[in-house]
Structure 1
Amino acid sequence: MKKYFFLGLMGSAVFFNSCSDTVENEIITDPVQQRTLLSKITTVYYDNPASPQTTVSTLEYNSQGQLIKTLSEGRSSINEYDSSGKPVKTNYYKTDGTLEYYALYTYNNDQLQNVKAIYSDTNLNRTINYTYSNGKVATSTLCQTANCSNPSISSYTYNGDNITVETSELGGTITFFTKNEYLYDNQLNPYTFTNKYFRIMMGGAYALSKNNYTSEKISFKDSAGNWVPNQNVVYEIQYNSAQLPTQVIGKSLSGANYVKYNYEYITQ
């Protein structure tokens, strides 16, 4: 499972919102309407098996089910919305409580066009732009310079509502290409009821797909332009009564741990 970072997001902290006016962003239980909201994510990375790294993110909501605040490793973010419920600004704060940067969201009708990160040092400013095909995100392009030289680009291929192939071009002095291929279960993923604009901003197959991927094949492109298999990961998933994952454990084919996610939810 990819370890998503965007515009300097705090560790595994991602930005969620469950809007109160659309079925897309709610789980409804009779006879009382309730929202099921993701409230805590605990992630364990096994890049160094002898010393796994754990991050914990907590999410706070207002009475409308909108994500207001995210906390992770002492850092925080606070979201602002327009009258229609679209996120328009996110402020990111350092561990000492001072503002590190803020992000502004731009839309074309109901499509998120870009998100811009604004720093006091303008050399750090960056923008991510999105294109769409049949209403789904087709590409995301991260620009770290004003003229968008050497951008990083992610492209997505879908089968129905799931991304089956994700190709990434990491821009820079040396361009690096990776390809991730996925197989899925038929259950809801943790971000099913997350505001769609935050899912787009998060990017990647896990946030943008409908279901949970159960296997991941990772390849890189060599100097001759050939895709070379690098790693295969299999995911074991446990679900709650709402068919949402509560734990996801990724392991290599040899059985070595790769990553583990624990998800906690609240109803409102």
Structure 2
Amino acid sequence: MTVAARAARSTAWSRPPFRFLLGAEAVTLSGSAVSTVALPALAVLELRASTTEVAVLAFLGQLPNAVALWAGALSDRHPKRPQLIASDLAAAAALVTIPAAALAGVLTVGQLCAVAVVLGAAKVVHDAAAISLLPALVGPDQLHDANSKIGAASSVADSAGTNAGALLVGAVGPARSVLVDAVSFLISAVLIWRMRVPETATAPRARTGLARDIVDGVRYVARQPTIRTVIAALSTLSFGLAVMNTYWAYYLLVPA
């Protein structure tokens, strides 16, 4: 066997379960990017939402992030694949209600807010489970390669999904565009279901309260300078983006 062949076999791509996870992450991120464009456009252009309603919609979409620590502790206690599949199906079901309600002429900003909460919660659970599952899919020496591939795929999928979302909103309207995101979650659920990976049972010592698990996790992060710095930077970036996303749709879409 040549050196090149051995190197190819040592990459994360050589693991079929990882390929399923990578495909699932890419397709859901592409679909979610479409909804990022479609939901604000739907609220502003078709429901004539006020600035306050747009702000509430953006706030509720970010609100589930407050339970991210709980989701992380939950993913450590229970099998990850069922959590991934359940979160994908919940998100798809919530999204389908939007075009159905729009077709019936009963869609409201309140319904958009409810869907935003479900989507946010599903994303938190999905992300926590995916991160926790990754070490079971690849070897320790492949984690860096696996994370880099997921990061690259995420960037491409987000950019492509946003551009596609803008085109779809203009072509078929924001309500119908949301169906693309619903389909993406269904595809992700199928890919995760086809994944075959053994998941070890939770260690007995970990059967403490969720609060204790969360506190232990926070303490661990606080003691790691590199992780602590990365989380602080990402938190600052996320805060800034959340503030920007609150009103950008309203001021970009509403004629002066």
TM range (shorter): under 0.3
Whichever structure has more helix as a proportion of its residues is: 2
TM-score by length of 2: 0.24
TM-score by length of 1: 0.24
Q: Which has the higher contact order (CA 8 A, sep 6+)?
A: 2
